[in-house]
Amino acid sequence: MIDDLGVEVLLAAPPRRVVSLVPSLTEAVAVTAPVLLVGATDYCTHPAGLDVVRVGGSKYPSVDRVLAAVPDLVLANAEENRRADVEALRAAGVPVWVTYPRTLDAALVSLARMLARLGLAEPPWLAAARAAWAAPPPAGPRRRAVVPVWRRPWVVLGPGTFAGDLLHRLGIDNLYDADVDRYPRPELAEMLARRPELVVLPDEPYPFSATDGPEAFPGLPCALVSGRHLTWYGPSLAEARDLLAGQLAAADGRSGA
């Protein structure tokens, strides 16, 4: 079988020791077949109480710690993990499965393929996620929004992102969807000049909150949303649609000061 980047991942048998370098994939394996998971990053926070070897951050994991866990498969992502680390693991003889979904549909297919490579049947949460997102976008006018994911400097969602596709399915049009860069770095004045009707502020990767973020957008509705449900592809997708829809609706009662 080949991973999302078209690389053939050869295994002598279904894996029995898996290290995940991606929080959403960690959750997917831990919920589906916890006995397989032997290692994860420091940022793998779900499910709560996960008791596995920690191998450092997603961007800078300790290759030595990964190898010490003796995995027969490592899970990675093309954006979250560095190619150098993936290549170092492969050079050490460890197969690495790399994901790279940029839409919801691609994520659902990617997850199904990954779980099949682990020798697992489709779990109930994946079927529930597929069903939850099958409905069309909500009725009513669409809203034009900017979606910062970092500040100092500002970074916003651009075209071709998984999170942008989820928002599109919820009636939100990203004002940077036609930009050249997938993660543009505009100045605040340039964002405001595009006249957004809504600002979407997830709590990760940057921890936007009621006191950190909305004040930069005076008079504009600001939706504080769960970054995990907006950017993770895994079990959280089963509840993400209803949760995000509610958080977006709540923005009408919250404006930047």
**Confidence at residue 72, expressed as pLDDT on a 0 to 100 scale:** 95
Residue 119: which pLDDT band, with cuts at 50, 70 and 90? very high
Q: Which residues of 129-168 are buried (b: 16+ CB within 10 A; e: fewer)?
A: bbeebeeeeeeeeebebbbbbeeeebbbbbbebbbbbbbb
Strands 155-156 and 148-150: antiparallel
Q: Are residues 242 and 168 in the same domain?
A: yes
Q: Which residues pair with 99 in a beta bridge?
A: 77
Q: Are residues 99 and 58 in the same domain?
A: yes
> pTM for the complete prediction?
0.92
Q: Is residue 2 part of a domain?
A: no
**Confidence at residue 254, expressed as pLDDT on a 0 to 100 scale:** 57
Compute the distance between CA of residue 30 and CA of residue 106 in angstroms, rounded to an integer.
21
Is residue 198 pLDDT above 90, yes or no?
yes
Other beta carbons less than 10 A from residue 106's beta carbon: 16
Q: Is residue 187 part of a domain?
A: yes
Is residue 1 pLDDT above 90, yes or no?
no
Is residue 200 pLDDT above 70, yes or no?
yes
Question: Is the CB of residue 71 less than 8 Å from the CB of residue 35?
Answer: no
**What percent of the chain is predicted at pLDDT more than 70?**
98
**Residues 6 or more apart in contact with residue 25 via CB below 8 angstroms:** 75, 77, 99, 114, 234
**Confidence at residue 251, expressed as pLDDT on a 0 to 100 scale:** 86
Is residue 135 pLDDT above 90, yes or no?
no
Q: Spell out the alpha helix ranges (H) of 99-236.
A: 104-117, 124-132, 162-169, 188-193, 227-231
Q: Are residues 221 and 157 in the same domain?
A: yes
Q: SS3 for 209?
A: strand
Residue 53: which domain range? Answer: 18-122
Interval 226-247 mean pLDDT? 96
Is residue 253 pLDDT above 60, yes or no?
no
Q: Are residues 177 and 221 in the same domain?
A: yes
Residue 139: which pLDDT band, with cuts at 50, 70 and 90? confident
For the chain, the domain total comes to 2
Tens of pLDDT, residues 58-95? 899 999 999 999 999 999 999 999 999 999 999 999 99
Compute the distance between CA of residue 223 and CA of residue 6 in angstroms, rounded to an integer.
37
Q: What CATH number should be reported for the domain holding residue 115?
A: 3.40.50.1980
Interval 9-29 mean pLDDT? 95
Please name the amino acid found at residue 197: E
Is residue 138 pLDDT above 90, yes or no?
no
Q: Is residue 152 part of a domain?
A: yes
Q: Is residue 128 part of a domain?
A: no
Q: Are residues 231 and 152 in the same domain?
A: yes
Using the 8-state DSSP alphabet, how is residue 153 labeled? T
Q: Are residues 105 and 153 in the same domain?
A: no
**Confidence at residue 140, expressed as pLDDT on a 0 to 100 scale:** 83
Q: Are residues 178 and 100 in the same domain?
A: no
Q: Is residue 65 part of a domain?
A: yes
More confident residue, 255 or 194: 194
What is the chain's mean pLDDT, rounded? 94
Q: Are residues 56 and 89 in the same domain?
A: yes
